[in-house]
Amino acid sequence: MGKQAKASQPSSFLDLEKAHHLNQQKQYYAIPKHPPLPPPPAPEQWFPWLIPLIFVANVSVFVYSLYVNDCPSRNGDSCTLYPFLGRFSFEPFNDNPMLGPSITTLEQLGGLERKSVVEDSEAWRLVSCIWLHAGALHLASNMLSLIVVAISLEQEFGFLKIGSLYVLAGVGGSLRSILSTYNDSKISVGASGALFGLLGAMLSELIINWTIYVNKCTALSTLMVVVALNMAMGILIPHVDNSAHIGGFVTGFFLGFVLLIRPQYGYVSRRYIPAGYDIKKKAKYKAYQYVLWAVAFLVLIAGFHMSFKKVYEDKVMDIPI
C-alpha cells in the first residue's frame, strides 16, 4: 500500500501542473470580451418655431379682421373701446360679446359657411376658417391652449408632423361642422378643431407608444381628464361649434397613430452599435404598432373620402349629364 501511495503522488502533481499550464494558455489566447454596449444617445429635440409662427399668424389675422371690419365707420361711438382702438375697435358688445368683428366680416374673410362650401364650391373655407376668431376672448383661449399643448409636441416630433396634424385635424373639424348643420347662414370660425386634434393625437400617441412610458395609467388618466374638461367647456359655453371639436379630435386621434409612432422600448439603431458587437437586435416596432398604424391610415383615407363625398353629393346629383 505504501508503494502505491508513493507512485500516485507524482502523477497527481503532474496532472495539476499540466492543468495549470493549460489554464494559463487559455487565458493568454482567450478573445477579450467587449465592454458593455454604451446606451444610444438621447433623441435630439426639435427647435419649436412653427407653433410660435402659428400663434403670430392667428393674432395677425385677427388684427387684420378688425381693420377690415372698421366698426367706427358703421356704428360710430357705440363700438366697444372706441375711440381708444380707433379703426380696430370691436363691434358693440350686444352684437359680439366675444370682442371681435362682425359676422359679415368673418364671412367675407373666409369663415366656414355651408352654403359657400357646398353650393359655391369654396372648399378653401375648410382651411381658412381655422385662422379666424370671433373675438379677443376666443383668440386668447385658443392661443393659450396652443402654446401649452403644441410646443412640447413640436419639440418631440418636429414641425412637419405637428404642422400636418394641426391643419388636417382642422379640416376634419370643418368637415364635421358642415355635415352636422343644415343652417346655410351659420358662420363657424376658430382653431378649436385643430387644437382638439392635437389632444386626440396625444391620446393615440400614448396608446401606440405604450411600451416606452413608465407611469402609463397616470399619464392616460391625466390626459383623459384634460380632454373631458375641454369637451365639457365646449358644451357649456354658448355659441361653440362642438361638431368641429369632435371632428377635430377624432381626426387627430387617428392621425396620431400614423404620424407619432415611435420605436419600441429597447430598440437600438444599427448605426449606434460599434463594429464587432454581435447583439440580438429588437424589431423597430411591435406587431400591435404596425396593426394600429395600418388601421388608422385606412380609417383616415375612408373618412376623408366619405366626408367630402357626403358634402358634395347633392351638388353632384344636380350636375346635368
What is this structure's pTM?
A: 0.82
* Active-site annotation holder among 188, 192, 204, 307: 192
- Burial environment of residue 43 by CB neighbours within 10 A (0 to 12, 13 to 18, 19 or more): exposed
Q: What is the DSSP letter of 320?
A: -
Instruction: Identify which of 118, 119, 97 has the alpha carbon closest to the alpha carbon of residue 240.
Output: 97
Report residue 137 CA to chain centroid gap: 24
Q: Is residue 276 part of a domain?
A: no
Instruction: Return the percent helix, strand and coil in the chain, to nearest 5.
Output: 65, 0, 30
Report residue 160 CA to chain centroid gap: 11
Those residues with Cβ within 8 angstroms of residue 275's Cβ, 6 or more apart along the chain or in another chain: none
Instruction: Tell me what percent of the residues of the chain surpass a pLDDT of 70.
Output: 77
Q: Is residue 273 part of a domain?
A: no
Q: Is the pLDDT of residue 321 over 50?
A: no
Averaged pLDDT, 295-316: 88
More confident position, 303 or 121: 303
Instruction: Identify which of 109, 110, 112, 89 has the alpha carbon closest to the alpha carbon of residue 99.
Output: 89
Instruction: Identify which of 131, 51, 119 has the alpha carbon closest to the alpha carbon of residue 318.
Output: 119
* Active-site annotation holder among 65, 188, 245, 307: 245
Q: Is residue 29 part of a domain?
A: no
> pLDDT category, 234, cuts 50, 70, 90?
low
Q: What is the pLDDT of residue 68?
A: 96
More confident position, 317 or 89: 89
Report residue 9 CA to chain centroid gap: 80
Q: Is residue 82 part of a domain?
A: yes
**Phi, psi for 90 (deg, rounded to 5):** -80, 160
pLDDT digits (tens, 9 = 90+) for 166-208: 999 999 999 999 998 876 678 899 999 999 999 999 999 999 9
What is the C-alpha end-to-end distance of the chain, expressed in Å? 121
Q: What is the pLDDT of residue 204?
A: 95
Q: Is the pLDDT of residue 3 over 70?
A: no
Q: What is the pLDDT of residue 41?
A: 62
Q: What is the pLDDT of residue 227?
A: 78
DSSP, collapsed to helix, strand or coil, labels residue 212 as helix
Domain count, the chain: 1
Q: Is residue 275 part of a domain?
A: no
Q: Are 162 and 153 in contact (CB under 8 A)?
A: yes
Q: What is the pLDDT of residue 222?
A: 78
Q: Is residue 210 part of a domain?
A: yes
CATH number, domain at 114? Answer: 1.20.1540.10
Instruction: Tell me what percent of the residues of the chain surpass a pLDDT of 90.
Output: 54
Determine whether 21 is an active site residue.
no
Q: What is the DSSP letter of 183?
A: -
Determine whether 138 is an active site residue.
no
> pLDDT category, 146, cuts 50, 70, 90?
very high
Q: Is residue 85 part of a domain?
A: yes
What are the strands, taking DSSP E only, across the chain?
112-113, 187-188
Range of the domain at 224: 50-267+282-318
208, containing H or E segment: helix 192-208
Q: What is the pLDDT of residue 284?
A: 84
Q: What is the pLDDT of residue 232?
A: 74
Q: What is the pLDDT of residue 223?
A: 78
Q: Is residue 25 part of a domain?
A: no
